[in-house]
Amino acid sequence: MFKMNGVVEAATIHIVNLPKGSKVSSPEEAHKGKTNYFLKEENVDILGFFSTEHKSILTHHDTYVHLHLITADRKQMGHLDDVVFKQGTMKIYLPK
C-alpha cells in the first residue's frame, strides 16, 4: 500500500452508482452504473495498492495496481482511471 499527494494537471475518476438492492455477479454488471468525472489542476491524495500476488483481491483481475483519488477539499473521490501529474509536485509515501 502507498500514498501519493500533489497536483494533477488532468485526471479521470469513476464511481459505480447502482440502485439499492442491485445484484452484481460480473464486472459488466458492476459497470452498468459507472459514472466518470474529469478533474483539472486539482490538489489530490492518491491511495494505491500494488501486489503481484493479489489480483482480483486488492486489484482488478488484469493488473497489479489499484488506485483511488480524493481531492484535497474532499469533495470528489473515485477509482483513478487516467492521470497526468503536474511535474515536480507529487510526493510518494511508501511503507517502511
59-65 — which CB contacts under 8 Å span 24+ positions?
Answer: 60/27, 61/27
Fold of 2-17+27-93: 60s Ribosomal Protein L30; Chain: A; (3.30.1330)
> Tens digits of per-residue pLDDT, 38-82?
999 999 999 998 766 656 655 566 767 789 999 999 999 999 999
Q: Give this prediction's pTM.
A: 0.81
Looking at residue 96, what is its pLDDT?
84
Q: Is the pLDDT of residue 1 over 60?
A: yes
The C-alpha atoms of residue 48 and residue 25 are separated, in whole angstroms, by: 25
Q: Do 70 and 44 form a contact (C-beta atoms < 8 A)? A: yes
